[in-house]
Structure 1
Amino acid sequence: MRALWVLVILCWPLTAKAQITASLVADSVTVVGETQLIATGNVQAFYAGATLSASRIIYDRPTDRLIIEGPIFLREENGDILLADRAELDPRFENGLLRGARLVLNQQLQLAANQISRVEDGRYSALTRTVATSCQVCGTRAPLWEIRAETVIHDTEARQLYFEDASLHVRGVPIFWLPRMRLPDPTLDRATGFLTPSIPTTNDLGVGIKIPYFIRLGDRADLTLTPYYSGATNTLEARFRQAYLAGDIEINAAVSRDDLLPDTWRSYIEGNGRFDLGRDFKLTFSTEAVSDPDYLSDYSYSEADRLASGLRVVRVDDDELFVAEGNYYASLRDGEVDSSLPPLVLSFGYERRIVPDVIGGVVTWGVSGDALNRDYELDPDNARDLSRLGLMAAYHNQWIAPIGIVATVDADLRLDYYAVADDPAAESGWRVGPAAAITLRWPFVRPSSGGVTQVIEPVVSLGYSDSIGVLPPNEDALLAELDEGNLYALTRTPGQDAREVGTRVSAGVAWTRTGPGGEVASLSFGRVYQSETQPAYSLASGQSSATSDWLLTAGLETRGGFGIDLRTLFDDHWSFNKTETRIDWENDRIGLAAAYLWLPADPSRDRETPASEWRFDATAQLSPNWAVSADARYDVGADQLARAGLGVGWQNECVTVDLSAERRYSSSTDEDPTTTYNLTINLIGFSTGRSTAGPTGQCRD
């Protein structure tokens, strides 16, 4: 029968420091005189959250030491594991020597050594003739990778590993040697040091290498510097992050000297941040600048062809909305000047919602304004400046008639003053914009015994709107669309400047089928009948005539992850306008998606010929270790690929390898095709969580 002992003899040197009791369980415990205690047979000792297992433990009181015979298993309070053949430790397991030992950190990184010396109350562990790896070790076969070092020091307080005379081996073959090296242990999230390098390759810049260096600037800030070297460029990339109690900022930048623009410094900077100002006010800002239009695409930093820098303050609660923002735009497109954007846009808006007891419904009132500024000296012919200040009031209410008809009433009144400068064709002045509509919906529901529910809902909406006063230039409502979200709305113009005028009727019907397993099929169509044509709508919008195109939408979602979405416009002669189709299928291992987009010619959008494009995306987890991905964009009008990409990833318990290739055939700033390759290899085990690792390999005979 096993004996449980409270080792008072072990506690004598400890009680002066803390009232902690060490416990021991063994098959046999013998006290030899007043100087020794011998425990044998399945020995387990417990102290301050640490657990030690051994075949035999001898406590020698004169030296205050434990002589332990293995196999030894020591699990410390922080989860670190020590295994050894023989050890001499103090009664707190903090100082001493372990022979034939192995240290396992965070159940991930294992370090095998001839001996481990523990000093400074367990803060430092010195490992001699060490092999470190996070790979599965099978018998005498060398692991996939390992680091061999003459000495390794583990600092448990700083959570750092210091290697001396270290070499990296792959399947036992030495790859490179370093006299000294410092790496974080797996429990450390942020530490100054090198990050995983990558090897990018492009046809413009050749084969290169990026070696990021992470600098910890405290608990709330860090800086990452990434030198990028190739035969055609010397580049330094930088990322700065700072966290505050009320927000954070991030700045990314790069500076280059390359063969693409010899003797020229090329650079870019991008910054963004967000802050909580208190009382529900949120502040966000962003900034972008670049030395030349091609820099971002040459280095694959961004596909943006316009840059935006701005500041935004917003407050949202149950009944109020406040927004104030300012934005500056710069174009990178060939042939587009900044003055046409316009470059500087300021705006603000305040809305409040009221629920009156007398009339019911919801009343919303607000004030808003915006200002657009262009540089007259850069482009006198397109230098129009515009400012607007407006008031609005709106009413919304809904009723359900006894026969099931849902009636919705919307009314809106806007008063705006426009100030226009540097445009002789436009005038300043007041404009009044009234609008009202009533919408009737009559849903018919048909449930069935099999759990299928079908809903058919005819809808008709009668509306009126007008614009009384000056006719301002249309600056903010250029991309008017007709879709299921605004078919029955008061207006289909997305901004304030352009307004629909006259009477209109919107009519349509929607059908939805919901299956017992959650599968959903839907179909809807409708159109808008206007009393007069609307000059704000382009030919490609489907609304340029008094009678709009037919809007048709369809969708399908199944339990197996298959989905289809279709949206198209067509006229009475079945001539199709804008069309978009998306098909996707996804399960635990495979994801497939395809999309088709067709846009007709639209001179108002500088699109002289129709544009159409196919897009494909695919991901597949071929096995627990292997994953592949692919994407492509095909320009049907140009009859060529616009972009193609392929990625292959492999991972196991100790390494991840990612290889990607991308071919970009053209962009708005560069017509030459660009091919980019990138290779990244990451050794798991140094400040990387086990959650990022792949499956553990199995040892085979």
Structure 2
Amino acid sequence: MRIRIIISCLVAVLLLSAPAALAQSETLETAPQPPSPAILVADDVYLDGSEQLVATGNVEALYNGRRLYASEVVYDRTQERLIIKGPIRIEEADGRFFVLANSAALDRDLNNGILRGARIVMDDQIQLAANEIARVNGRYNQLYKAAVTSCRVCETGRPPLWQIRARRVVHDQQERQLYFDDAQLRVLDTPILYLPRLRLPDPTLERATGFLVPSIRNSSLLGFGVRVPYFIKIGDNKDLTLTPYLATQTRTLEWRYRQAFANGNIEFNGAFSNDDVGPDENRAYVFANGTFQLPRDFVLRFDIEATSDDTYLLDYDFSQKDRLDSELEIERARRDEYIRGAITVFQSLRDGESNETLPTGVINAEYERRIPVNYSVGGEVRLGFEGHGHFRNSGLNIDGPDFDPFADGRDVARMTFSAEWHRAWTLPAGVLAEVELGLSADFFRIQDVGITSSSDASELTPEAAVQLRWPLLKTTQAGSTHIIEPVLQVAWVGGSNPFVPNDESTLIEFDEGNLFATSRFTAPDRRERGLSAAYGLSWTRYGVDGWQTSLAVGQVIRDELQVDPAGGTAFTNSSGLQDRYSDLLVAGQIKTDNGLTLTARGLFDDDLSTTKAEARASLINKVASIGATYIWLREDPAEDRPGNVSEWAFDANYRISKHWSGQADWRFDVASDETVSAGLGITYANECVDVTLSASRRFTSSTILEPTTDINLTVGLRGFTTKTRDKSYVRTCEN
């Protein structure tokens, strides 16, 4: 039987005792605290004479959080030295750093000494092997004739995929830095780079100044180039990343600044380029965002987006946005109250759009309050306020389409006050009933109006609605659950739309979210008027096998057409709401237990012809993330769509094998029979390296854009620049 002897007091006296007593003049209050007692566990512990303590057999020692494992430990009290026989394992308190060795001679605190045939493993990532390691003051580890790698090293004699060989490596445990003298970067033991001096952070350090993963890019527009990011740690709460990008046709400096505060954070991204691509040699952009928690539950957010020209973001693949928005917002959301105020500035990058005549400046303010009614009438009252204003740089009062450079310059201000009462009941047979009564007041002020609108307008809008729902549930013998819910709503909205321009409700989406709304316009500058009814039926099935299926249909019926004050119908021809009987709304979804999801939604007119339709199929599991989307939009000049839109989009990421994965994306314009964009990439990853090769092509062209092709190569050495979070990529010595 193994005899385990725990001798805290003996080791504290013999092994780790203080070298001298305290001075007589030192008081008890000022005396330093004695070191924590050491714990020694072994199969056998005995005294060899009066000066040596010997522990043999499965030795474990613990002192100040540091743990030692060995086959034999001999402590010489006269020299205050430990002679240790291996195999040896020394673990630091945090568990992210340990040393392996064949033999060692160390002081009693394990802070100074020599370890032979040693290896250091940090964060289960980086391995440092050397013939000899010298420990100095418990802070420095000096390795001679060392090899450093994060690759799995097996006893087959084959070299690791990559390693850094150095005459000497110094590891500073306090600063968590590695310093190399006469370093060679080797790939499969072949030297490819020599550096007389090299400094790298060890993997236990989350943030450190230094180079990040470089990448090589070949662009048909910008030429062949290299991007080398450099990370600068300014403090524990802020950093700066500078990325020089040097290519045949450009000299670019990209940058990112981040800072965290006690109540929020900010991030700025931008770039400055001097290139030979366009008429302007100097080009730049900046994107910024931030969030701050303010007193009384308020949240402040800001977002800045600006660029020097219309094509800069696309040329350098910084962003695909063609309309930029910068916003300052303050918001508070509570259970019974919502407050929001925002100032937004838009910048259009689209060919043919003029920022002079588009509403580039927008102000919004919202307030809503929910008040429960405790009297016999019950329910709750909702009080609301909306303030909106948008402004154009143009001062022309000639009315016309927004994309016309000589169009109007009207500015609009609106205020809306509303009061609503809601009450719900549960009727016999489980029928759910809800009644809504409301009154809204809209006030408009328009400048530079032209002849198609009044300069001032106001309207009082009463409304009422009754809705009935009857949820029915059934569970089959097989365990599947079916829920069927028919819904019927009857609504009435009084008043008439004032003679003001339609600037806010230009694009209408008719779907399940607003099927039972009293008005499906997006803003109060237009409202649905008169008597209407909406009906719908939804069915949902939950299977015991993990399958989930749902289907919903609905339609809106009105007593009269919705007419715009300027003439014609208030809804566009592709909205699905332009007639007294709306298009039939059909939506469905299927989910399986293996990650497959099919979603579709469409609007169908009286002839069952498609007005709008979209479908999405996706498969997400451990090895694949694949999705395909189809969209169809009928032509509608009122929505600036002169022709039908029919487009396919495909994206995929597939784990081909343990170490290989592929990526692909593709967009195809069916209406014009042209490919819009396509991309293909392949990645090899294991525990020590991550290599990605990708190619992409943008086929679209215009007066300011031309087709481009990009090829990118990125190589990352895991352990220093990136961590191996996903252990499924780690190789084993068997394969």
Compare 674-683 and 20-29 and name the one that shifted more: 20-29
Tell me which of 153, 159, 165 is aligned to 1:148: 165
Given that 2:213 and 2:721 are in contact with CA atoms closer than 8 Å, whether structure 1 keeps it comes out as: no
> Does residue 130 of structure 1 match 2:151?
no
Tell me which of 629, 632, 637 is aligned to 1:603: 637
1:319 match: 336
Task: Tell me how large the CA RMSD over aligned residues is.
Answer: 2.1
Decide whether aligned partners of structure 1 residues 95 and 599 sit closer, same or farther in structure 2, where only a CA change above 3 A counts. Answer: same
Given that 2:497 and 2:526 are in contact with CA atoms closer than 8 Å, whether structure 1 keeps it comes out as: no
Decide whether aligned partners of structure 1 residues 22 and 406 sit closer, same or farther in structure 2, where only a CA change above 3 A counts. Answer: closer
Compare 332-341 and 123-132 and name the one that shifted more: 332-341
Decide whether aligned partners of structure 1 residues 420 and 114 sit closer, same or farther in structure 2, where only a CA change above 3 A counts. Answer: same
Partner-residue secondary structure (3-state), 1:539: coil
Decide whether aligned partners of structure 1 residues 21 and 525 sit closer, same or farther in structure 2, where only a CA change above 3 A counts. Answer: closer
Compare 633-642 and 373-382 and name the one that shifted more: 373-382
1:482 match: 510
Decide whether aligned partners of structure 1 residues 340 and 602 sit closer, same or farther in structure 2, where only a CA change above 3 A counts. Answer: farther
Given that 1:23 and 1:45 are in contact with CA atoms closer than 8 Å, whether structure 2 keeps it comes out as: yes
What are the equivalent positions in structure 2 for 1:325-474 lying under 5 Å apart?
Answer: 325-358=342-375, 359-377=377-395, 381-425=407-451, 426-427=453-454, 428-468=456-496, 470-474=498-502
C-alpha displacement at 1:56, in angstroms?
Answer: 3.4
Letter in 1 for 2:485: E
Tell me which of 4, 9, 24 is aligned to 2:14: 9
Distance 1:128 1:674 in 2: 51
C-alpha displacement at 1:235, in angstroms?
Answer: 0.5
C-alpha displacement at 1:523, in angstroms?
Answer: 2.2
What are the equivalent positions in structure 2 for 1:78-117 lying under 5 Å apart?
Answer: 78-79=94-95, 80-117=97-134
- The superposition leaves residues 392-429 of structure 1 with CA deviations (integer Å, 9 ceiling, x where unpaired) of 11122222221333222222211121111001322102
- The superposition leaves residues 44-66 of structure 1 with CA deviations (integer Å, 9 ceiling, x where unpaired) of 33322222233433322232222
Distance 1:521 1:223 in 2: 49
1:179 match: 196
2:72 match: 56
Given that 1:467 and 1:499 are in contact with CA atoms closer than 8 Å, whether structure 2 keeps it comes out as: no
Distance 1:354 1:637 in 2: 52
Decide whether aligned partners of structure 1 residues 202 and 324 sit closer, same or farther in structure 2, where only a CA change above 3 A counts. Answer: same
C-alpha displacement at 1:103, in angstroms?
Answer: 1.2
Given that 1:185 and 1:687 are in contact with CA atoms closer than 8 Å, whether structure 2 keeps it comes out as: no
Given that 2:357 and 2:393 are in contact with CA atoms closer than 8 Å, whether structure 1 keeps it comes out as: no
> Does residue 579 of structure 1 match 2:596?
no
1:633 match: 667
Decide whether aligned partners of structure 1 residues 305 and 72 sit closer, same or farther in structure 2, where only a CA change above 3 A counts. Answer: same
- The superposition leaves residues 461-510 of structure 1 with CA deviations (integer Å, 9 ceiling, x where unpaired) of 21111334732211111111221221121111111211111211222322
C-alpha displacement at 1:663, in angstroms?
Answer: 1.5
C-alpha displacement at 1:513, in angstroms?
Answer: 2.6
Distance 2:652 2:325 in 1: 31
C-alpha displacement at 1:251, in angstroms?
Answer: 0.3
C-alpha displacement at 1:643, in angstroms?
Answer: 1.5
Distance 1:134 1:495 in 2: 58
Given that 1:101 and 1:113 are in contact with CA atoms closer than 8 Å, whether structure 2 keeps it comes out as: yes
1:227 match: 244
> Does residue 542 of structure 1 match 2:576?
yes
Compare 279-288 and 620-629 and name the one that shifted more: 620-629
Compare 605-614 and 659-668 and name the one that shifted more: 659-668
Partner-residue secondary structure (3-state), 2:550: strand
Q: Identity over aligned residues, as a percent?
A: 44
Decide whether aligned partners of structure 1 residues 235 and 390 sit closer, same or farther in structure 2, where only a CA change above 3 A counts. Answer: same
C-alpha displacement at 1:614, in angstroms?
Answer: 0.9
- The superposition leaves residues 265-313 of structure 1 with CA deviations (integer Å, 9 ceiling, x where unpaired) of 1110111100001111000001111111110000000001011111000
Distance 1:260 1:595 in 2: 34
> Does residue 523 of structure 1 match 2:519?
no
C-alpha displacement at 1:141, in angstroms?
Answer: 1.4
C-alpha displacement at 1:117, in angstroms?
Answer: 1.2
- The superposition leaves residues 417-469 of structure 1 with CA deviations (integer Å, 9 ceiling, x where unpaired) of 11110013221022112222112233343432222333333332211113347
Decide whether aligned partners of structure 1 residues 40 and 228 sit closer, same or farther in structure 2, where only a CA change above 3 A counts. Answer: same
Distance 1:263 1:440 in 2: 63
Distance 1:640 1:596 in 2: 15
Distance 1:698 1:507 in 2: 61
Decide whether aligned partners of structure 1 residues 462 and 12 sit closer, same or farther in structure 2, where only a CA change above 3 A counts. Answer: closer
Letter in 1 for 2:442: D
Tell me which of 176, 179, 184 is aligned to 1:162: 179
Letter in 2 for 1:432: L
Given that 1:324 and 1:348 are in contact with CA atoms closer than 8 Å, whether structure 2 keeps it comes out as: yes
Decide whether aligned partners of structure 1 residues 362 and 2 sit closer, same or farther in structure 2, where only a CA change above 3 A counts. Answer: same
C-alpha displacement at 1:693, in angstroms?
Answer: 5.4
Decide whether aligned partners of structure 1 residues 440 and 143 sit closer, same or farther in structure 2, where only a CA change above 3 A counts. Answer: same
Decide whether aligned partners of structure 1 residues 119 and 699 sit closer, same or farther in structure 2, where only a CA change above 3 A counts. Answer: same
Letter in 2 for 1:297: L
Partner-residue secondary structure (3-state), 2:429: coil
2:401 match: none
- The superposition leaves residues 508-527 of structure 1 with CA deviations (integer Å, 9 ceiling, x where unpaired) of 32233332334222222222
C-alpha displacement at 1:206, in angstroms?
Answer: 1.9
2:27 match: none
Decide whether aligned partners of structure 1 residues 107 and 585 sit closer, same or farther in structure 2, where only a CA change above 3 A counts. Answer: closer
Which ranges in structure 2 are unaligned for 5 or more consecutive residues? 22-32, 397-404, 563-568
> Does residue 267 of structure 1 match 2:293?
no
- The superposition leaves residues 17-71 of structure 1 with CA deviations (integer Å, 9 ceiling, x where unpaired) of 7333334344554534433334444443332222223343332223222222333
Decide whether aligned partners of structure 1 residues 436 and 15 sit closer, same or farther in structure 2, where only a CA change above 3 A counts. Answer: farther
Decide whether aligned partners of structure 1 residues 128 and 575 sit closer, same or farther in structure 2, where only a CA change above 3 A counts. Answer: same
Given that 2:16 and 2:109 are in contact with CA atoms closer than 8 Å, whether structure 1 keeps it comes out as: no
Partner-residue secondary structure (3-state), 1:456: strand
Distance 1:415 1:503 in 2: 19
Decide whether aligned partners of structure 1 residues 22 and 384 sit closer, same or farther in structure 2, where only a CA change above 3 A counts. Answer: same
Distance 2:473 2:58 in 1: 72
Partner-residue secondary structure (3-state), 1:297: helix
Decide whether aligned partners of structure 1 residues 681 and 14 sit closer, same or farther in structure 2, where only a CA change above 3 A counts. Answer: farther
Distance 1:318 1:176 in 2: 62
What TM-score does the superposition give when structure 1 sets the normalisation length? 0.96
C-alpha displacement at 1:389, in angstroms?
Answer: 1.6
Letter in 2 for 1:423: V
Compare 666-675 and 593-602 and name the one that shifted more: 666-675
Decide whether aligned partners of structure 1 residues 21 and 507 sit closer, same or farther in structure 2, where only a CA change above 3 A counts. Answer: closer
Given that 1:565 and 1:582 are in contact with CA atoms closer than 8 Å, whether structure 2 keeps it comes out as: yes
Letter in 2 for 1:179: P
Partner-residue secondary structure (3-state), 1:11: coil
Given that 1:112 and 1:130 are in contact with CA atoms closer than 8 Å, whether structure 2 keeps it comes out as: yes
C-alpha displacement at 1:188, in angstroms?
Answer: 0.5
Decide whether aligned partners of structure 1 residues 519 and 505 sit closer, same or farther in structure 2, where only a CA change above 3 A counts. Answer: same
Which ranges in structure 1 are unaligned for 5 or more consecutive residues? none
Distance 2:45 2:471 in 1: 83
Partner-residue secondary structure (3-state), 1:604: helix
Given that 2:165 and 2:184 are in contact with CA atoms closer than 8 Å, whether structure 1 keeps it comes out as: yes
Distance 1:261 1:429 in 2: 48
Given that 1:14 and 1:20 are in contact with CA atoms closer than 8 Å, whether structure 2 keeps it comes out as: no
1:300 match: 317
> Does residue 588 of structure 1 match 2:622?
yes
